[in-house]
Amino acid sequence: MRAALFSSNPLCVECERLGRVTLATQRDHIRPLAEGGTDDDSNVQGLCHACHEAKSLAESKRGRQRAQWGAQ
């Protein structure tokens, strides 16, 4: 699945959006599985390592906030 994604879309979608050209190295779920996302082609995108790390940190922060609000 990863190879097929990079074959059809070799560039990081976030970098492209910002006008940069960077090869994608990470297969990323647009809507995370932990937030109800699916593991099908419509919910995946290619990201470079830096963009994937930034997105993962933001998702982790949201998860911690949900847990905090749920515990109150």
If one counts every other C-beta atom within 10 angstroms of the C-beta of residue 63, the result is 13
Which pLDDT score is estimated for 72? 59
Which pLDDT score is estimated for 65? 86
Which pLDDT score is estimated for 70? 72
Q: What is the chain's pLDDT, residue by residue, as a tens digit (72 residues)?
A: 889 999 999 999 999 999 999 999 999 999 999 889 999 999 999 999 999 999 999 999 988 888 887 765
Q: Which residues of 21-54 are buried (b: 16+ CB within 10 A; e: fewer)?
A: ebebebbbbeebeeeeeeeeeeebbbbbeebbee
Determine contact, residues 29/44, Cβ cutoff 8 Å: yes
Which pLDDT score is estimated for 62? 87
